[in-house]
C-alpha cells in the first residue's frame, strides 16, 4: 500500500508528486503528463501568464521554467509571451527530473477501502493507497451553453477539444465567449483560413494592459505591486493570500471564485484579433437548431431584437464549472458524503487541502471556492503542493511513510501502459 496516489499529471499533480517524494513518502502518480496542455490546446497558442509566474513547484524551488529555457537558449522574459508548446515541454522535463516516473494509466474508479482507498485503472491491476490526491485538471468540468445541448454532436464543440484548427479552413465558425480562450481561438481560426465570428453576452471586450516593468520606482511598485496573477493589490491578494481566502464565509468564497479575475484577453493578442475577427457583442444565445449540415443560432440583443446567425460550426469557449457530481471516477457514495462549499458543489477543504473524507485530498480548479482564484492558474500549484503534502503527512500521522522510503524519484517502478490522463 502506497502512502499517496496522485491522480492527474498536470502542473498540480506533478508538483504534488515532487513534494511528496521530497518528503520521503511512497508516492505514485497516474495520468498522461501535461495532457491538457499537449492534447487540448491548438497549435499557435501562447501562455497568458508571465514566465516567472508559471513555474511548477519542487522542493527548494528547483526545476523552474527559467532553468529549463536557459538550458535550451529559449527566451523566457517578462512581457514576452511564451508558446504553449514550450510550456508543455517544460512540464515533461520537470516530470523526468523532479517526480517519480509518471504511470500513464487512466483512472476509472477511486473507492474507499478499509482505512485507505482502492484505485482502479483501465490498464492494470488495482492499487491500494493510504491517501489520494485528485489533481484532475479542468477537462472533467467542460461547460457548454444549454442551448447547444440539443444539437447533433458534429455541429458544436468546446474550445478545449481542438489541437488542430486547420480543419475549419474556408468554413464559418461561431465562437462563443469573451475570455482569452474565445479570443485566441477566434484569432487562430482566422489565421488558419477559417471565417470566425465572436458572439458574446458582454457589451464590451476586456483586454489586459501591457505589463509594467519588473523594476520600477518604489512608490510605483507600492501602488501597483506585481503578483503571479497580475498587477495591483487585488491580484496580489488572490495570488499571495489563498490561506486568507479560505477563512472567509462560504458565500463570499463562492462569489470570489466566480467573479474575480474575469474574462479578458492578453494585450499581445488584441491587434491580431481586432484586425481579423468580426464580433457580435451584447448578444445572448437563445436557441440553436440544425439546418442540414449547418447550424442556425437564435440570438437576442439587450433591446430585445432577434438576430439569426447561420454558421458551419459552433465552438463554445465558455470555460469550466467545477462540480463533484461530474467526477465520475470518484465513488458515488463517497461523493455524496463530502461536505461542500455552500451551493458550489465543490469540496470544503482543510488548510492542507483535505476533504471531509479522511485521506482524500483535492487540487486545482475544484479548490477555487475554498482557496480563491489562484487555483485556476498554474501559479497556484506552488501554494498547493507543499501544503497538501503537509496535510498528507499529518493524516498519515505516526504511521509515517512505508518502510524503505527514500524520498527520491523512483526508477524501480516502470510506467504502466496507456496514453490518457
Among 3.30.70.20, 3.30.420.10, 3.90.1330.10, 3.50.50.60, name the CATH number for the domain at 2-141+320-399.
Answer: 3.50.50.60
Q: Rounded to an integer, what distance in angstroms lies between the CA atom of residue 198 and that of residue 200?
A: 7
Q: Please write the tens of the pLDDT for every residue from 126-180.
A: 999 999 999 999 999 999 999 999 899 999 999 999 999 999 999 999 999 999 9
Give tens-digit pLDDT for 386-395: 999 999 999 9
What pLDDT is recorded for position 406? Answer: 36
Q: What is the pLDDT of residues 299-347, one digit of tens each?
A: 999 889 999 999 999 999 999 999 999 999 999 999 999 999 988 899 9
Quick check: pTM over 0.85? yes
Non-local CB neighbours of 125 within 8 Å, separated by 6+ positions: none
Q: What residue ranges of the chain are covered by domains with CATH 3.50.50.60?
A: 2-141+320-399, 146-207+264-316
Contact 395, 358 (CB under 8 A): yes
Nearest alpha-carbon partner for 359 in 4, 2, 24? 4
Q: 146-207+264-316 has which fold?
A: FAD/NAD(P)-binding domain (3.50.50)
* Angle, alpha carbons 135-139-145 (nearest 5°): 140
Predicted pLDDT at 254: 94
pLDDT by residue (tens digit) across 13-55?
A: 999 999 999 999 999 999 999 999 999 999 999 999 999 999 9
Separation of alpha carbons 28 and 336, rounded Å = 26
**Total Cβ atoms within 10 A of residue 326:** 16
Q: Which of the pair, 402 or 156, is modelled with greater confidence?
A: 156
Amino acid at each position: 500500500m502506497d502512502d499517496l496516489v496522485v491522480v492527474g499529471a498536470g502542473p498540480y499533480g506533478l508538483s504534488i508528486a515532487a513534494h511528496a517524494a521530497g518528503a520521503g513518502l511512497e508516492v505514485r502518480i497516474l495520468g498522461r503528463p501535461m495532457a491538457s496542455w499537449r492534447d487540448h490546446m491548438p497549435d499557435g497558442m501562447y501562455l497568458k501568464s508571465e514566465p516567472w509566474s508559471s513555474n511548477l513547484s519542487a522542493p527548494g524551488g528547483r526545476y523552474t521554467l527559467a532553468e529549463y529555457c536557459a538550458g535550451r537558449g529559449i527566451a523566457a522574459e517578462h512581457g514576452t509571451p511564451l508558446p504553449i508548446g514550450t510550456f508543455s515541454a517544460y512540464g515533461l522535463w520537470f516530470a523526468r527530473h523532479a517526480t517519480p516516473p509518471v504511470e500513464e494509466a487512466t483512472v476509472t474508479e477511486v473507492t474507499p477501502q478499509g482505512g485507505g482507498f482502492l484505485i482502479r485503472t483501465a490498464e492494470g491491476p488495482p492499487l491500494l493507497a493510504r491517501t489520494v490526491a485528485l489533481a484532475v485538471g479542468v477537462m472533467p468540468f467542460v461547460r457548454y451553453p444549454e442551448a447547444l445541448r440539443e444539437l447533433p454532436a458534429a455541429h458544436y464543440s468546446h474550445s478545449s477539444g481542438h489541437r488542430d484548427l486547420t480543419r475549419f479552413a474556408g468554413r464559418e465558425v461561431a465562437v462563443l465567449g469573451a475570455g482569452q480562450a474565445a479570443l485566441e481561438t477566434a484569432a487562430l481560426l482566422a489565421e488558419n483560413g477559417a471565417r470566425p465570428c465572436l458572439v458574446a453576452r458582454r457589451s464590451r471586450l476586456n483586454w489586459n494592459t501591457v505589463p509594467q516593468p519588473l523594476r520600477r520606482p518604489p512608490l510605483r511598485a507600492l501602488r501597483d505591486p506585481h503578483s503571479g496573477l497580475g498587477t495591483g493589490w487585488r491580484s496580489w491578494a488572490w495570488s499571495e493570500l489563498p490561506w486568507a481566502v479560505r477563512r472567509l464565509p462560504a458565500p463570499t468564497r463562492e462569489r470570489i471564485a466566480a467573479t474575480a479575475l474575469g474574462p479578458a484577453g492578453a494585450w499581445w493578442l488584441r491587434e491580431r484579433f481586432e484586425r481579423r475577427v468580426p464580433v457580435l457583442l451584447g448578444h445572448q444565445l437563445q436557441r440553436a437548431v440544425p439546418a442540414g449540415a449547418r447550424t442556425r443560432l437564435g440570438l437576442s440583443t439587450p433591446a430585445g431584437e432577434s438576430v439569426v446567425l447561420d454558421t458551419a460550426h459552433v465552438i463554445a469557449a465558455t470555460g469550466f464549472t467545477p462540480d463533484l457530481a461530474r467526477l465520475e471516477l470518484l465513488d458515488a457514495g463517497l461523493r455524496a458524503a463530502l461536505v461542500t462549499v455552500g451551493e458550489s458543489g465543490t469540496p470544503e477543504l482543510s488548510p492542507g487541502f483535505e476533504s471531509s473524507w479522511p485521506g482524500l485530498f483535492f487540487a486545482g480548479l475544484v479548490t477555487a471556492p475554498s482557496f480563491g482564484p489562484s487555483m485556476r492558474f498554474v501559479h497556484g500549484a506552488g501554494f498547493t503542493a507543499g501544503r497538501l503534502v503537509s496535510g498528507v503527512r499529518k493524516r498519515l500521522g505516526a504511521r509515517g511513510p512505508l518502510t524503505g522510503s527514500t524520498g527520491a524519484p523512483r526508477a524501480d517502478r516502470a510506467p504502466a501502459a496507456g496514453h490518457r490522463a
